[in-house]
Chain A
Amino acid sequence: GESVGLHLPTLSVQEGDNSIINCAYSNSASDYFIWYKQESGKGPQFIIDIRSNMDKRQGQRVTVLLNKTVKHLSLQIAATQPGDSAVYFCAENKANRDDKIIFGKGTRLHILP
């Protein structure tokens, strides 16, 4: 069935190192992907997005990579900081779903001192 999932539920990274969070999706009809950050007790915060006609997009300290061949999405965070501790969700949108955003399972990122 359709799904947006993540490989790892938790990820521990040394402060200052780069973090890579992965996501797999199964529906090739998805044409838009988003990464969100959710801190405890708060709503999701937009980080970066990418359309299916692209394979890479960079933001401030973050990069999203899209591999349509293997239906894989990743979020790279450079020089991870304590404030990056949160749960990260990948999400998808399909053009025929009336802008509905469907969330994946989430990965908790722990920053080690």
Chain B
Amino acid sequence: GAVVSQHPSWVICKSGTSVKIECRSLDFQATTMFWYRQFPKQSLMLMATSNEGSKATYEQGVEKDKFLINHASLTLSTLTVTSAHPEDSSFYICSARDSGPATQHFGDGTRLSIL
């Protein structure tokens, strides 16, 4: 079946650094990918919609200058957390749309810990 891969699966870094997370659709092309954030014992919160070849659309309250999204190809979207701080520590999950909402496939997430 369709697979979405995230890399890295786990990252620890110092406060103030920038971290890039990759989301790849391995066996299908995804014109649209989505980025979610999940804090412990909470639900997934949609951060932004990543569109191939165009600017991402951010949800209300999400800082676009802090969470940089690039979707340069049909199989890769990246999320860069710039100048990360401890409050940015979270589980970041991406999904890729194959051919409609019924076929959104989720990655296994990236655990980000900022010290």
Contact = CB atoms under 8 A, between A and B. Distances in A.
Nearest to A42: B108
A42 B106 CA distance: 9
Contacts of B36: 103
B60 interface: no
How extensive is the interface on chain B, given as a class? 20 to 34
B44 interface: yes
B93 A101 contact: no
Contact of A105 (B43, B97, B107, B111): B43
Nearest to B46: A100
A2 interface: no
Instruction: Name the interface size band of chain A.
Output: 20 to 34
B45 to A, nearest CB: 8
Interface of B: 4, 6, 32, 34, 36, 42-46, 49, 57, 93, 95, 97, 100-102, 104-109, 111
Given A32-B102, A41-B111, A100-B46, 9 more contacts: A34-B102, A43-B4, A43-B106, A43-B108, A93-B101, A98-B32, A99-B100, A103-B45, A106-B42
